[in-house]
């Protein structure tokens, strides 16, 4: 029996416990940078196992588990995130979140469950493979600056030769594995804009400096950044997602706040979008007499899947004999973002999409929805996919 067959067999035996772990984590979600109990749960899982566990990386909740095989060799990184979202859960599952206003609405509970189980199995088989595997249990994927940034900055992953990760998506059929070469997910920046005017009576606008009118012009003009300043062949998005100006009908507000997000599929557009926004705000200050304060946050870079490593992963999975993959698809790039991009900036690898559509559902709720759910069959699929890729890359390179 090959090492991959042994891995698959043991993972199949552990599928029930994998699901139990996922449900426990789903019941006990924690927000980004506040995942103390989840981090302790993960660390405790490896407590009596023959591995090196590093916790509290850069004073945060990330954990890296180092598994050394029988002989020295190459080093592969495998990552799963474990933070939840500030969403009130609306599902009817018996393992619904016990923490009001907090929910695993992006599948990170499933990511952690399959990586814990895969890690345990790789430890059991470590006398049968060469090299090193580092399991990256990452905190705070959902909130800037993201947990990946600090883990990479710590230097603990400097020896990686390749890095791989998986994300579960219920919009894809369970059994489908999706790959994207090159720029696969957008870079992300977020902004908060405060426009200060001079309020007053709604019946006497001439005595005021109206920040609402200035803010309205900003909402309109900022759309021209994409349509008139960016290369039309590039993918860029600028969205104003909040306009906060609470008050009564007869009061012109003194100050308004706008919030929004920026996405770009080409890293070269990261700074120019910000610079164009500043030009618009300079014009608003001149035209309306307001003062603009822009808090612009550069977040995750463009996620770039190394073409060679992506093709190698596809070749491995096309020849898999586990029976767990029904379809290998080439997915389109996504305007969503992921801080797995920080690992890929430093180390070549690829980020793999795994379908997780619940059985009997035609239109599944997408990630970040209060009724989001996954097909738990996708956990075993993910563990097999990531495990086979890692072992094959260690063996064949």
Note down pLDDT in tens along the chain; length 397 residues.
Answer: 899 999 999 999 999 999 999 999 999 999 999 999 999 999 999 999 999 999 999 999 999 999 999 999 999 999 999 999 999 999 999 999 999 999 999 999 999 999 999 999 999 999 999 999 999 999 999 999 999 999 999 999 999 999 999 999 999 999 999 999 999 999 999 999 999 999 999 999 999 999 999 999 999 999 999 999 999 999 999 999 999 999 999 999 999 999 999 999 999 999 999 999 999 999 999 999 999 999 999 999 999 999 999 999 999 999 999 899 999 999 999 999 999 999 999 999 999 999 999 999 999 999 999 999 999 999 999 999 999 999 999 997 6
CATH, range 187-298 = 3.30.70.360
244 is a catalytic site residue? no
HSE value, Cβ hemisphere, 13 Å, CA-based, for 27:
9
Which is catalytic among the residues 120, 141, 162, 388? 141
> Do the annotations mark residue 201 as ligand-binding?
no
Secondary structure letter of residue 332 according to DSSP:
P
83 is a catalytic site residue? yes
Q: Which CATH architecture has domain 3-185+303-396?
A: 3-Layer(aba) Sandwich (3.40)
How far apart (Å, rounded) are the C-alpha atoms in residues 116 and 103? 20
Please say whether the beta carbons of 304 and 310 come within 8 A: no
Alpha-helical runs (H) found in 237-376: 270-288, 307-318, 341-346
| Residues whose CB falls within 8 Å of the CB of residue 207, separated by 6 or more in sequence, listed in order | 200, 201
Which is catalytic among the residues 35, 60, 83, 376? 83
How far apart (Å, rounded) are the C-alpha atoms in residues 27 and 99? 8
> Do the annotations mark residue 30 as ligand-binding?
no
The sign of the torsion formed by the CA atoms of 90, 139, 28, 388 equals: positive
Beta partners for residue 136, in sequence order: 64, 79
- Quick one: 392 exposed, middle or buried, by C-beta within 10 A (0-12, 13-18, 19+)? buried
Secondary structure letter of residue 238 according to DSSP:
E
> Do the annotations mark residue 194 as ligand-binding?
no
Domain range annotation of the chain: 3-185+303-396, 187-298
How far apart (Å, rounded) are the C-alpha atoms in residues 310 and 197? 52
Which two tokens mark 284? 């608003």
């Amino acid at each position: 029996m090959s090492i991959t067959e042994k891995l698959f067999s043991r993972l199949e035996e552990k599928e029930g416990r994998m699901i139990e772990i996922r449900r426990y984590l789903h019941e006990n979600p924690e927000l980004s940078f506040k995942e103390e109990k989840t981090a302790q749960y993960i660390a405790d899982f490896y407590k009596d196992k023959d591995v090196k566990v590093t916790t509290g990386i850069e004073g945060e909740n990330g954990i890296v588990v180092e598994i050394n095989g029988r002989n020295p060799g190459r080093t592969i990184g495998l990552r799963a995130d474990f933070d939840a979202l500030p969403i009130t859960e609306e599902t009817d599952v018996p393992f619904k979140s016990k923490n009001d206003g907090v929910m695993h609405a992006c599948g990170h509970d499933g990511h952690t469950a399959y990586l814990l189980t895969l890690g345990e199995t790789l430890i059991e088989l470590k006398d049968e493979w060469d090299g090193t595997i580092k399991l990256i249990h990452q905190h705070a994927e959902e909130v800037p600056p993201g947990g990946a940034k600090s883990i990479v900055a710590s230097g603990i992953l400097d020896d990686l030769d390749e890095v791989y990760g998986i994300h579960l998506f219920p919009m894809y059929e369970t059994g489908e594995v999706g790959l994207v070469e090159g720029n696969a997910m957008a870079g992300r920046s977020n902004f908060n804009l405060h426009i200060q005017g001079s309020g007053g009576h709604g019946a006497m606008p001439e005595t005021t400096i109206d920040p609402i009118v200035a803010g309205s012009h900003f909402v309109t003009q900022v759309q021209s950044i994409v349509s008139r300043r960016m290369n039309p062949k590039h993918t860029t998005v600028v969205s104003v997602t909040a306009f906060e100006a609470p008050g009564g009908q007869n009061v012109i507000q003194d100050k308004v706040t706008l919030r929004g997000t920026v996405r770009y599929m080409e890293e070269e557009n990261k700074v120019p979008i910000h610079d164009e926004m500043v030009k618009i705000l300079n014009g608003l200050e001149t035209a309306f007499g307001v003062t603009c304060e822009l808090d612009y946050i550069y977040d995750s870079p463009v996620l770039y899947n190394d073409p060679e490593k992506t093709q190698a992963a596809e070749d491995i999975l096309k020849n898999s004999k586990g029976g767990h993959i029904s379809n290998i698809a080439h997915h389109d790039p996504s305007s969503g973002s992921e801080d797995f991009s920080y690992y890929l900036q430093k180390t070549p690898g690829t980020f793999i999409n795994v379908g997780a559509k619940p059985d009997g559902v035609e239109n599944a709720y997408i990630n970040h929805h209060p009724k989001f759910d996954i097909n738990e069959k996708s956990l075993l699929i993910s563990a097999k996919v990531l495990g086979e890729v890692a072992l094959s890359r260690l063996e064949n390179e």
